[in-house]
């Protein structure tokens, strides 16, 4: 016989607090996307300010008319992205474990606080020399990554434990979809800031004035605003009833906490015999994390979640290698265009891509996730991503390398659409549903950290594949062909792993998986 408070959670109608929780939990993912996608235009500004074609490039002085601008080296961009991803992996492991040991609520505010302070600190990289700016920016982006990483397992777990079983997938997907709004927000903020600075500048339009050094700092700092606005509400959230009942073994307090946020009569959630804390239908796992018993019961699920997350992040972050080619064709990085205009064009391109493919992909998932299931969506996404990369990659050397057309852009947009209407979203959802409450946050953090290792590999692949041909300014077509075909193969491997190993969680209580596993041993 299941606890009444858990049954009430599974059957609860959609209420205002569910939508409030989506916004509160989603601000971490919003900040994650904002800080990731504001980097490309910021790197254009930094290139204009700190990378100059003369020997005194470390000096931020008034630039002579004959100064020739350079772009920020690909290795520097990849390093800054990789540092943030490394911090994210660390944060997922540390905060994921803390979420199960100390409680979701107790560490939830800490991760958001780290994001707010680190975003502000990125803007206060007070150095004026290139090396000092890049080192300090990298350090604060690592700390920012730690905060962002902590938000992944905590947000997914909290939303899964608050939601009912009928619409749980849609709620978790809605939290993750805040990334799309973060991408769009970063582009809008960048365009607004660059336009304001450009209008207020009296410098010749072919030059990038010294004030541009303030512009990119302001863009980074603005990412802290939405997260800071939700900090109070995050601290006011009660502990999830599932954690209180199943991990802390306090059923009475679980009912009280649930009553605070959901409009459910106390008679429906209070136990007739509150002293009975461990009913046979919900045995509390006594085995430790990563023990033989844990691996026997949940090892395949953990491997599958981590492996598919790894594979999709390799592909998702490697897609940046296509952007380098697209920027080259549609956004001319000439010396007669100052940094404001260049950053504005990059941000505008990202905004168009977000509106046309990224955001729709998230919300199509929200609509279908509880109708056709996680496994089918993940397989569909992997399949179509593979087809897209093969369609771009196989003829790339002979056609796409010289003909970036509407067809290329349509295929490129589809890769983002099916990533989000597919494994990029489902790999965030499934780990929050498969594991017992005692290990849920930790296992989500492990899977996410492995995924970020794949993301780091993707950025290295981006660096390798986007190396320019000598004196041509274009990526090497052979390297691009090989890279794109490899990405297609990676997607097919993800498809096979999903088909053979991923268990469907749609329409099932979070406790169903735990009951199933424990009953196998309880009955033997």
For every residue of 450-497, DSSP letters joined together read HHHHHHHHHHHHHHHHTPBPTTT-SB-HHHHHHHHHHHHHHHHHHHHH
Sorted by sequence, the CB contacts under 8 Å of residue 465 that are 6+ apart come out as 318, 321, 475, 476, 479, 480, 482, 483
52 contacts 70 by C-beta, under 8 angstroms: yes
Cα–Cα dist 109/337, whole Å: 43
Sequence-distant (≥ 6) Cβ neighbours of residue 403 within 8 angstroms: none
| Distance separating alpha carbons of residues 450 and 307, to the nearest angstrom | 7
3-state secondary structure 60-73: CCCCCCCCCECCCC
CA distance 11 to 445: 28
pTM (whole model) above 0.75:
yes
pLDDT of residue 471: 43
Comparing CA positions, the residue from 495, 484, 317 lying closest to residue 408 is 484
For each of the domains in the chain, give its residue range(s) and CATH number, in order of start: 8-52+71-274+288-523 (1.20.1250.20)
Q: DSSP string spanning 189-226? A: HHHHHHHHHHHH--S-TTS--TTHHHHHHHHHHHTHHH
d(CA 332, CA 346): 10
* CA separation for the pair 392, 481 (Å, rounded): 8
Query: Which token pair is 481?
Result: 């062909």
Tokens of 405: 């057309």
468 forms beta bridges with: 475
Could you tell me how many helices (H) and strands (E) the chain has, helices first?
25, 0
What are the percentages of helix, strand and coil residues in the chain, rounded to 5? Answer: 75, 0, 25
Burial code (b: 16+ CB inside 10 Å, e: under 16) for 447-461 equals: bbbbbbbbbbbbbeb
CA distances from 448 to 153, 303, 386, 429 (A): 8, 11, 22, 11
40 to 144, 193, 205, 412, 448: CA distances (angstroms): 17, 15, 21, 18, 24
Q: Could you list the pLDDT tens digit for every one of the 524 residues in the chain?
A: 568 888 888 888 888 888 989 999 998 899 889 988 888 889 888 888 888 654 444 444 444 444 455 677 877 888 888 899 999 999 999 999 999 999 998 899 899 999 999 999 998 877 778 888 999 999 999 999 999 999 999 999 999 999 999 999 999 999 999 999 999 999 999 999 999 998 887 655 556 777 888 999 999 999 999 889 888 888 888 899 899 988 988 888 888 888 887 777 766 677 766 544 444 444 455 788 889 999 999 999 999 999 999 999 999 988 765 665 666 666 666 666 678 888 898 899 899 989 999 999 999 999 999 999 999 999 999 999 999 999 988 888 777 766 667 788 888 899 999 999 999 999 999 999 999 999 999 999 999 999 999 999 988 877 777 666 554 456 677 888 888 899 999 999 999 999 999 999 998 899 886 654 444 443 33
**Terminus-to-terminus CA distance in the chain, angstroms?**
20
d(CA 245, CA 258): 11
* Residue 357: exposure state from Cβ atoms within 10 A (0-12, 13-18, ≥19): buried
């Amino acid at each position: 016989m299941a606890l009444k408070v858990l049954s009430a959670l599974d059957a609860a109608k959609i209420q205002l607090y569910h939508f409030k929780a989506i916004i509160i939990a989603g601000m971490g993912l919003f900040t994650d996307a904002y800080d990731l996608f504001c980097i490309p235009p910021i790197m254009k500004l930094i290139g204009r300010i700190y990378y100059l074609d003369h020997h005194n490039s470390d000096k931020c002085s008034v630039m002579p008319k004959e100064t020739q601008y350079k772009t920020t080296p690909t290795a520097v961009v990849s390093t800054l992205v990789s540092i943030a991803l490394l911090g994210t992996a660390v944060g997922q492991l540390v905060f994921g474990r803390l979420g199960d040991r100390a409680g979701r609520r107790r560490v939830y505010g800490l991760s958001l606080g780290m994001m707010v302070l680190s975003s502000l600190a990125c803007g206060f990289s007070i150095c004026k020399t290139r090396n000092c700016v890049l080192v300090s920016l990298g350090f604060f982006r690592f700390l920012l990554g730690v905060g962002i990483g902590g938000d992944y397992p905590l947000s997914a777990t909290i939303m899964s434990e608050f939601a009912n079983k009928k619409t749980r997938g849609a709620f978790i997907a809605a939290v993750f979809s805040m990334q799309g709004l973060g991408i769009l927000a970063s582009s809008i903020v960048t365009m607004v800031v660059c336009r304001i600075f450009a209008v207020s500048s009296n410098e010749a339009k072919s030059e990038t004035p010294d004030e541009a050094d303030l512009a990119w700092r302001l863009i980074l700092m603005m990412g802290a605003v939405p997260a800071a606005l939700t900090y109070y509400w995050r601290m006011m959230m009660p502990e999830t009833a599932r954690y209180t009942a199943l991990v802390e073994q306090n059923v009475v307090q679980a009912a009280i906490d649930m009553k605070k946020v959901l409009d459910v009569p106390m008679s429906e959630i209070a136990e007739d015999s509150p002293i009975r804390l461990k009913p046979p239908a919900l045995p509390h796992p006594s085995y430790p994390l990563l023990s033989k018993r844990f691996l026997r019961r949940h090892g395949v699920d953990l491997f599958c979640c981590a492996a598919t997350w790894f594979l999709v992040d390799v592909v998702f972050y490697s897609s940046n290698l296509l952007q380098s080619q697209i920027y080259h064709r549609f956004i001319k990085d000439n010396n007669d265009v100052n940094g404001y205009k260049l950053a504005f064009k990059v941000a505008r391109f990202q905004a168009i891509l977000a509106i046309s493919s990224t955001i729709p992909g998230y919300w199509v998932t929200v609509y279908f996730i509880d109708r056709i299931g996680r496994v089918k969506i993940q397989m569909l996404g992997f399949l179509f991503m593979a087809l897209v990369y093969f369609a771009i990659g196989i003829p790339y050397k002979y056609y796409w390398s010289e003909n970036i057309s509407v067809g290329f852009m349509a295929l490129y947009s589809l890769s983002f659409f099916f990533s989000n209407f597919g494994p990029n979203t489902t790999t965030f959802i499934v780990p929050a549903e498969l594991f017992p409450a005692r290990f849920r946050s930790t296992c989500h953090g492990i899977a996410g950290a492995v995924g970020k290792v794949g993301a780091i590999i993707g950025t290295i692949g981006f660096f390798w594949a986007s190396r320019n041909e000598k004196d041509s300014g274009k990526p090497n077509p052979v390297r691009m062909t090989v890279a794109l075909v490899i990405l297609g193969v990676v997607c097919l491997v993800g498809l096979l792993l999903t088909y053979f190993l991923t268990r469907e969680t749609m329409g099932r209580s979070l406790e169903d998986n735990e009951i199933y596993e424990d009953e196998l041993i309880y009955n033997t």
